[in-house]
Amino acid sequence: MKNLLFLHGALGSKQQFKKIEEELKSSFEVHSINFSGHGGEPVPQEPLSIEMFSSDVLNWLQDNRIKEVDIFGYSMGGYVALYIARNFPGKTRRIFTLATKFDWTEEISAREVKMLDSAKIKEKVPAFAKELSARHFPESWEKVMNKTAEMMINLGRKNTLLSEDYSKIENDVLVGVGDRDKMVTLEETIEVYRQLKNGRLLVMPGTPHPLEQVDGKRLASEIKNFFV
């Protein structure tokens, strides 16, 4: 069976994919990893970055003696997958991104960072704070959030993937977005799809940004249709 690697989003962890992995384990050799600083992995002293997370994937491939791999990347995980495809050709095969934010400017970063206020989250949405605490234990979720905010600011100042990079990716890529996603626009997703040499577009109806609110069975079906 084909190796299929799941890459999580910012503030996420590989545990978020457990249900969908169960749906797919009869069709693929399913794998998932935690990026540096996520899911209890030690939070590094240096800033979090797409380059760092790409190194996490490349090191995992080397450690597991896997030459190349198909990737499903949710949100930031999709961005990492495309960065690897652009800069390390031959390491990835097909790539499926969902809810990936491609358009980063200083203004957009500033808007997104406002949502990453740990004090307000603990006050306004304590259940989410508790979830993040469990997800990143034994590390501090507040530290992970602050590091993530720093990464977003840096992306706004200098986008890791430029517009012209997408046209240089040779892989078959399916870029997906939910029609109710409040973070990722349909316009930015279509723009990237049009630049890809071998791109496809998927708009999932009734789908907001959070992974937990995506229809798991529908997503599993789309993954099988694309990768099998």
CA distances from 49 to 93, 120, 148, 198 (A): 23, 25, 9, 26
Query: pLDDT digits over 42-95, tens only?
Result: 999 999 999 999 999 999 999 999 999 999 999 999 999 999 999 999 999 999
Helix residue ranges per DSSP H, the chain: 18-24, 50-63, 76-87, 106-113, 118-124, 126-136, 141-157, 186-195, 216-227
Domain membership flag for residue 149? no
Domain membership flag for residue 143? no
What value does the mean pLDDT take over residues 156-175? 96
The total domain count for the chain is 1
Distance CA 175, CA 8 (A): 15
Q: Is the pLDDT of residue 228 over 90?
A: no
The rounded Cα 171 to chain-centroid distance in angstroms is: 17
Q: Is the pLDDT of residue 157 over 90?
A: yes
Query: pLDDT digits over 20-44, tens only?
Result: 999 999 999 999 999 999 999 999 9
Percent of the chain with pLDDT over 70: 100
Whole-angstrom distance between the N-terminal and C-terminal Cα of the chain? 9
Domain membership flag for residue 75? yes
- Does pTM surpass 0.75? yes
In the block, which residue shows the tokens 């605490």?
A: 133
What value does the mean pLDDT take over residues 182-197? 97
CATH of the domain at 42: 3.40.50.1820
Domain membership flag for residue 88? yes
Query: pLDDT digits over 201-213, tens only?
Result: 999 999 999 999 9
Distance CA 93, CA 26 (A): 20
Percent of the chain with pLDDT over 90: 99
Domain membership flag for residue 109? no
Q: So what's the pLDDT on residue 2?
A: 93
Domain membership flag for residue 219? yes
Q: So what's the pLDDT on residue 189?
A: 98
**Pick from 136, 138, 116, 137: nearest CA to 125:** 116
What does the mean pLDDT of the chain come to? 97
Domain that holds residue 52: 3-102+161-227
**Pick from 126, 190, 192, 133: nearest CA to 165:** 192
**Pick from 17, 114, 136, 154: nearest CA to 75:** 17
What value does the mean pLDDT take over residues 3-13? 98
